[in-house]
């Protein structure tokens, strides 16, 4: 385990990184890093006094994979939940910028998340690591973001950063066999629609969407009423009688 930098001015940040031996994983952190759980990194923001970190390792469970994220350059925090998950499961990493800052970009496994503060990773088959960077927020510029609650789909907002008074649309894309259950946060009014449109934005907007299994569709089989059946029988009798008369005229009557 190592921390960098090991000497910082008051109010600066440091990151401690645990490097387990092959076949081992982080079990837990202790002392001032106790809140880092089983993550491979412990981020210590705004250090005001000497800090002490300890870490405990445990044998790796082959069916378990790990998702971790680290802040590059300070000015915010990041966490992934769950950080330990069954192989094939999903995890969401959430970046929380300090006041006056916003997400500049993600790297690593979350590269495609761009400036969204939420990075959703699905079908995780191996350990994944990401970093996030923050930058100062210009005056009059606001962020629009959305995240998925519970998996089974994805969501994105465009534009994700815009000037005061602008508009943005958040689009939910359910996995096959699922549909939007509900929106919450700024998009709560959108109900179960696939798209949430936000207009005249004057502050940062954050939303969440959840998905639910789509009901199986059935096709109704048309049926005849009682009178319809009677008419059908009469029609068939009439066709049979006409056929019989035609045969008689041709000399086929026995």
Does the pTM of the predicted model rise above 0.95? no
Q: Residue 82 has what DSSP assignment?
A: S
- pLDDT of res. 130: 95
Q: Domain boundary residue among 9, 38, 60?
A: 60
Q: Residue 13 has what DSSP assignment?
A: -
Question: What does the alpha-carbon distance between residue 205 and residue 167 come to, in Å, rounded to a whole number?
Answer: 11
- pLDDT of res. 82: 92
Total domain count, the chain = 3
- pLDDT of res. 252: 53
- pLDDT of res. 218: 62
- pLDDT of res. 39: 83
* Element spanning 231, H or E: helix 226-249
- pLDDT of res. 56: 93
Task: Indicate if 114 and 89 belong to the same structural domain.
Answer: yes
* CB-side neighbour CA atoms (13 Å) of 25: 19
Answer whether 212's CB lies under 8 Å from 236's CB.
Answer: no
Longest dimension (CA), the chain: 117
186 falls within a domain: yes
Answer whether 118's CB lies under 8 Å from 147's CB.
Answer: yes
Task: Indicate if 29 and 67 belong to the same structural domain.
Answer: no
In which domain, by residue range, is 118 found? 62-137
154 falls within a domain: yes
Question: What does the alpha-carbon distance between residue 25 and residue 27 come to, in Å, rounded to a whole number?
Answer: 6
Question: What does the alpha-carbon distance between residue 156 and residue 148 come to, in Å, rounded to a whole number?
Answer: 10
223 falls within a domain: no
- pLDDT of res. 137: 87
Q: Domain boundary residue among 88, 120, 137?
A: 137
Task: Indicate if 55 and 70 belong to the same structural domain.
Answer: no
36 falls within a domain: yes
194 falls within a domain: yes
- pLDDT of res. 45: 87
Structure tokens given for 184:
């919450």
41 falls within a domain: yes
Q: Please report the beta strands in the chain, taking only residues with DSSP state E, as ranges in sequence order.
A: 2-4, 14-17, 24-31, 41-44, 53-59, 64-71, 76-81, 84-86, 91-97, 101-108, 118-121, 128-136, 141-149, 153-158, 161-163, 168-174, 178-185, 195-198, 205-213
Flag residues of the chain having pLDDT under 70: 61-62, 217-224, 247, 251-254
249 falls within a domain: no
């Amino acid at each position: 385990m190592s921390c960098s930098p090991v000497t910082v001015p008051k109010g600066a940040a440091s990151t401690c990184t645990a490097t387990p031996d092959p076949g081992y994983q982080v079990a837990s952190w202790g002392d001032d890093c106790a809140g880092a759980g089983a993550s491979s990194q412990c981020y210590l923001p705004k250090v005001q006094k000497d800090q002490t970190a300890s870490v405990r390792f445990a044998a790796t469970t082959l069916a378990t994979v790990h998702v971790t994220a680290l802040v590059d350059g300070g000015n915010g925090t990041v966490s992934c939940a769950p950080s330990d998950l069954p192989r094939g499961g999903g995890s969401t990493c959430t970046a929380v910028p300090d006041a006056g800052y916003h997400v500049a970009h993600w790297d690593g496994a979350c590269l495609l998340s761009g400036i969204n503060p939420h990075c959703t990773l699905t079908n995780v088959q191996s350990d994944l690591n990401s970093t996030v960077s923050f930058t100062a927020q210009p005056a009059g510029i606001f962020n629009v973001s959305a995240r998925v609650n519970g998996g089974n789909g994805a969501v994105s907002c465009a534009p994700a950063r815009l000037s005061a008074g602008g508009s943005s649309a958040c689009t939910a894309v359910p996995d096959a066999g699922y549909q939007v259950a509900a929106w919450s946060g700024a998009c709560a009014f959108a109900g179960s629609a696939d798209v949430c449109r936000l207009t005249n934005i004057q502050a940062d907007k954050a939303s969440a969407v959840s998905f639910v299994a789509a009901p199986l569709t059935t096709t109704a089989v048309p049926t005849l009423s009682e009178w319809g059946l009677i008419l059908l029988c009469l029609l068939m009798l009439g066709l049979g009688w006409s056929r019989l008369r035609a045969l008689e005229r041709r000399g086929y009557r026995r």
